[in-house]
Structure 1
Amino acid sequence: MSGTTFITRARVRRTMADEWHSLPADDVLRRLDASPLGLNASDAARRLARIGPNELVRTARISPWRILLAQFVDVLVIVLIIAAIISAVLGTLQGELADLYDAILIVAIVIMNAILGFVQEYRAERSLEALKGLAAPKAHVLREGGIVAIPSRELVPGDVTVLAAGDRVAADARLLEAAGLRLNEASLTGESQPVVKAIEPLPRDSFVGDRKNMVFMGTAVEGGRGKAVVVETGMATELGKIAGLVQQETKEETPLQKQLDRLGRQIGIAILSAAALIFGIGVLRDPGHIELMFLTAVGLAVAAIPEGLPAIVTISLALGLQRMIRRGALIRKLPAVEALGAASVICSDKTGTLTKGEMNVRILLAGPRSYEVTGEGFDPKGTVKADGSLADLAADAALRKLLECGVLCNDATLKRERDRWVVEGDPTEGALVVAAVRAGLDVGAVRTRWPRVAEVAFTSERKKMSTLHAALPPSEVQEILAVPEGERHQRLQDLNLVLHVKGAPERILAACSHHVVDGERKPLSDNDRRQYLF
């Protein structure tokens, strides 16, 4: 491929940023001069040299000195600095230690205020690193038909990536294949529910959150599998655009900053006016003590300055910022905390914004028996009770089998990150895992004892997921999965297999002929089905 041709295509690619989802997959490949089998190594290297690495870059780094100096430009802080200088001068001229102490106190307040503001804003300046943390370190791509793992920074437009459950998407890409593919796009759109992906073209004016034939950098694969051709990398991705916006420096003052500046000017004018009035009256009454009157007026002016106000404001904002950070908010400028508090109306999509993205099982039905599940979020602390008594899995076969099915026909995992529990995978599947742990089930042991040998992914048409399990050591399972499909089916027929299915209640009940009641297998009647549904 000639260099001139590639540059032309690169320009076309940049103008196509908002159109990839509206084109058939074949057209996307043709415009990128790519193949479903992926790029060869030399072609990928040429593209990488011309387009650059697939990474988020800092467009404008604000130096720590600028952040520190910005803490001293408020009108009220300037008034305090002037007051400190005057107090120091008065203390030196009059030999009064009280004035020197006042100067030291004011300087200490100004410095403490500056340090608090600097620390908070310097931490927030590292917000780009938080976005970089969403990017995947590795990507699986096709190179001349074979799957290889490469650093995600080496991805280029035209690369074909292979996606599987647990992967994090390394670049914006147009889907070529999707089999039950579900992605968590909360990091990009705020939508807590996983998005089911498809490959059909969509209208050109579709919003980013509605582009179901696209996958985006920083989002996570929760289930299924797929292949996609990379169309945008680095700062040209949707996550890159967010990174660019985060780094933009705006000069607009918040309502609090405007009020404090106005208050500082008013205080300055009022104090100077009062000092001038006191000085004038004193001189008129006692012309022989002009110096004393001047020092008295200046001393009263300094005493009238509210030295603690800037520190109180900064401390209050810093406390509010820390609370918001603990709740997952990203704030670059300290006064923005107050600006958000001054908002009277916030327009947003409630899903994923006002919700936590966490699911919880509250009621379990195992046969005719009902169980109450307690606990909050994904924390495994909680209980499963029936009629006020803790459930006993050893004695309750129906509940045990129900929970085992819930964790085996499931791709989610529960783990602890820092000081909280999180789920990797679909939140609904995560809720089933958490409920099983609260009931006392050893999820790891169950999954080890019954490894998965086959599956049929959930789709909107089937409305259910099916997994096939065998009581075999993991090494034997991997050996079976490695053989050709025809031979694999023959070997599976000779094993003790268990099929687990979960999905929409009406679909599951329609496929069932029996249920377990008081530990016994009994026929499932139409009346039983109605009771389960209603």
Structure 2
Amino acid sequence: MARGKHGKEKDPVGSEPLLGAGKEDSGAYGTEAQDDARFYMGVDRESLINTPESGLTEEEAARRLELFGPNQLSVKEDNMWLKLALEFVQPMPMMIWGAILIESIETYIHQSMDGLVDVIVLVVLQLLNVLVGFIEEMKAGDAIAALRESLKPEATVKREGRVYIINATKLVPGDVVVLGAGGAIPADCTIREGKPIQVDQSALTGESLPVAMFPGADAKMGSTVTRGEIEATVTATGSQTFFGKTADLVQGVDELGHFEKVLREITYILVAVGFFICALVFIYLISIGVDFWEVLAFNVVLLVASIPIALRVVCTTTLALGCHELAAEKAIVARLSSVEELAGMTILCSDKTGTLTLNKMVLQDDLPTFVPGVSREEVLRLAALAAKWWEPAKDALDTLVLNAVNISELDVFEQTDHTPFDPVIKRTESTIKSKDGKSFKVTKGAPHVVLDMCVNKSSVGQEVEKKVLELAHRGIRSLAVARTKNETKDFEFIGILTFLDPPRPDTK
């Protein structure tokens, strides 16, 4: 039996359906229960995620997949043919249809070849106006669909006591998943019992460094585990995740672009002025006895001449050429109007990490020391000794330090013990034996943590805190380094490594 938070025994969810037989009524959706934190899409949340250690059964997982749907973001799909049909009833196309109708009637009555040529030209213009933009957007849609299809996320799931890999879209609420270093978090999860892990949430928050997550913490879909391994219980999937809700909000914005609005305003004004002038000319010519059909044909010519019917096709073609140039730079344009919107942008609000910056920690020249006679190179060497320098770096900070020293110079030392970075104590520690046989310890980690364990805190404490605060105000991060002194167990605060995530070369 699995136990709840208060120690009461509960039936394993894996062996009992989440709803009683015949209770999977979709009428529960959309009720007030759906907005209650105690419920997930009309189902009691506590019973849903109270999964035993062995995970869900395959039968229960299949029931939940049918009930809650696949673990994938909702994609807004428009009817292609309806969209094409609507393009033919916009203001400018409607005016061209009117001109085609009048020219066709006049051509039929007078059996004029010149009139037939005019009709053909107008029809070609009409098709070009609509089809160029439609085809370009359809190509972009196909490219995006192909890209989405090629990205097939996987998840390591635990069901009926077996751990195996499945398509992440088949995850359901209550599934037990195994999160490991380097793997993406496939759905919103609650961390189960175990050692804490580090999670990179830069895609969601813009934070460069990983965040430590302990049992009970909520890990969001779209994040990546950078260190550690632990099991987690899926609490939400698909569009019900934090990432999915955000994506739905973005897709919900469906309005005309600025360029399209300007084109429509110009069209309305020109059509109104053109009709007014044509009406005056029509009245005048009829009043002086000119034949009705000749007057009508002349008015069509005048209307077509006064209004730039090819305005839309010229603009669409120009935007399409811009799309092809962007495609050559590996950019997919989903809407033609977005090219103009980007060109007319005056202020771009963007997240920092990985967009304006390299998402890569770079060591700075500023390296304050707090022990007389200690050089910058010595502080870097001590920091490198606090890592397994003979192995590939395990995280961004180890990479930062090991790239700043000559690794071959460290081979004269022997590492007899090593404690990797622990988010609980916020530091790493190594026991080192030098070539003369003497042993000492080195540690690197959060400045306030390292400072509290050093014997020279009273003499350098204020200076260290002042320096760390100054660096923080400048957007520079700090990493403290300390070592034991004269084969004692007392640590001495040595110095501070400074680093930041620099801007990309193309950021201006």
Report what 1:481 is aligned to: none
Report what 2:475 is aligned to: none
AA at the equivalent of 1:172: D
- C-alpha offsets along residues 27-58 of structure 1, whole Å, 9 cap, x if unaligned? 987663422x2325356446446535543265
How much does 1:136 deviate?
2.8
The 3 A distance-change label for structure 1 pair 337 and 233 is same
Q: Figure out how many residues of one structure are paired with residues of the other and give that number.
A: 421
Report what 1:463 is aligned to: 426
Q: 1:410 aligns with which of 393, 398, 402?
A: 393
Report what 1:158 is aligned to: 174
AA at the equivalent of 1:361: V
The 3 A distance-change label for structure 1 pair 284 and 147 is closer
The 3 A distance-change label for structure 1 pair 109 and 431 is farther
Q: Are the counterparts in 2 of residues 254 and 336 from structure 1 also a CA contact under 8 Å? A: yes
Alignment map for 1:186-225 (pairs within 5 Å): 186-189=202-205, 191=207, 193-199=209-215, 213-225=217-229
Report what 2:483 is aligned to: 512
Q: Are the counterparts in 2 of residues 84 and 106 from structure 1 also a CA contact under 8 Å? A: yes
Aligned with 1:269: secondary structure?
Answer: helix
Report what 1:268 is aligned to: 271
Distance 1:500 1:87 in 2: 90
Q: Are the counterparts in 2 of residues 172 and 216 from structure 1 also a CA contact under 8 Å? A: yes
How much does 1:273 deviate?
2.1
AA at the equivalent of 1:359: K
Report what 1:308 is aligned to: 310
- C-alpha offsets along residues 396-438 of structure 1, whole Å, 9 cap, x if unaligned? x9799799967947335xxxxxxxxxxxxx6x677678x67xx
Structure with the bigger RCO (C-alpha within 8 Å, sep 6+) is 1
- C-alpha offsets along residues 276-313 of structure 1, whole Å, 9 cap, x if unaligned? 3233334555x356654443333222112213321343
Distance 1:158 1:327 in 2: 42
TM-score normalized with structure 1 length: 0.59
Q: Are the counterparts in 2 of residues 188 and 219 from structure 1 also a CA contact under 8 Å? A: yes
- C-alpha offsets along residues 160-179 of structure 1, whole Å, 9 cap, x if unaligned? 22211111112221112363
How much does 1:320 deviate?
6.9
Q: Are the counterparts in 1 of residues 155 and 165 from structure 2 also a CA contact under 8 Å? A: yes
AA at the equivalent of 1:275: C
Distance 1:187 1:216 in 2: 10
Q: Are the counterparts in 1 of residues 200 and 224 from structure 2 also a CA contact under 8 Å? A: yes
Q: Are the counterparts in 2 of residues 64 and 122 from structure 1 also a CA contact under 8 Å? A: no
TM-score normalized with structure 2 length: 0.61
Report what 2:362 is aligned to: 361
Q: Are the counterparts in 2 of residues 9 and 31 from structure 1 also a CA contact under 8 Å? A: no
Alignment map for 1:3-42 (pairs within 5 Å): 3=17, 4-5=19-20, 19=37, 32-35=49-52, 37-39=53-55, 41-42=57-58
Q: 1:239 aligns with which of 195, 220, 243?
A: 243
How much does 1:441 deviate?
9.4
Q: 2:191 aligns with which of 175, 178, 192?
A: 175
Q: Are the counterparts in 1 of residues 188 and 242 from structure 2 also a CA contact under 8 Å? A: yes
The 3 A distance-change label for structure 1 pair 162 and 353 is closer
Q: Percent of aligned pairs with the same residue?
A: 20
Alignment map for 1:329-340 (pairs within 5 Å): 333-335=335-337
Distance 1:311 1:270 in 2: 21
Report what 1:70 is aligned to: 86
Gap regions ≥5 residues in structure 1:
22-26, 201-212, 371-396, 413-425, 470-496, 515-524
RMSD: 5.5
- C-alpha offsets along residues 130-175 of structure 1, whole Å, 9 cap, x if unaligned? 677777323243643x643344344333332221111111222111
Q: Are the counterparts in 1 of residues 72 and 239 from structure 2 also a CA contact under 8 Å? A: yes
The 3 A distance-change label for structure 1 pair 510 and 42 is closer
Alignment map for 1:75-86 (pairs within 5 Å): 75-83=91-99
The reply to whether residue 136 of structure 1 matches residue 100 of structure 2 is no
Q: Are the counterparts in 2 of residues 176 and 199 from structure 1 also a CA contact under 8 Å? A: yes
Distance 1:430 1:73 in 2: 60
How much does 1:86 deviate?
5.5
Distance 2:389 2:310 in 1: 59
AA at the equivalent of 2:279: A
Aligned with 1:302: secondary structure?
Answer: helix
How much does 1:107 deviate?
2.2
AA at the equivalent of 2:297: L
Distance 1:531 1:55 in 2: 45
Alignment map for 1:442-481 (pairs within 5 Å): 456-459=420-423, 461-465=424-428
The 3 A distance-change label for structure 1 pair 467 and 178 is farther
How much does 1:233 deviate?
2.7
Report what 2:117 is aligned to: 100
Report what 1:296 is aligned to: 298
AA at the equivalent of 1:300: L
Q: Are the counterparts in 2 of residues 128 and 246 from structure 1 also a CA contact under 8 Å? A: no
Distance 1:337 1:47 in 2: 45
Report what 1:387 is aligned to: none
Q: Are the counterparts in 1 of residues 441 and 484 from structure 2 also a CA contact under 8 Å? A: no
- C-alpha offsets along residues 80-113 of structure 1, whole Å, 9 cap, x if unaligned? 444456567778855449x837953772474255
Q: Are the counterparts in 1 of residues 129 and 312 from structure 2 also a CA contact under 8 Å? A: no
Aligned with 1:156: secondary structure?
Answer: coil
Q: Are the counterparts in 1 of residues 322 and 339 from structure 2 also a CA contact under 8 Å? A: yes
The 3 A distance-change label for structure 1 pair 109 and 362 is farther
Aligned with 1:39: secondary structure?
Answer: coil
Gap regions ≥5 residues in structure 2:
1-14, 368-373, 433-438, 451-478, 486-490, 500-508
The 3 A distance-change label for structure 1 pair 532 and 217 is closer
Distance 1:280 1:50 in 2: 68
Q: 2:137 aligns with which of 109, 114, 120?
A: 120
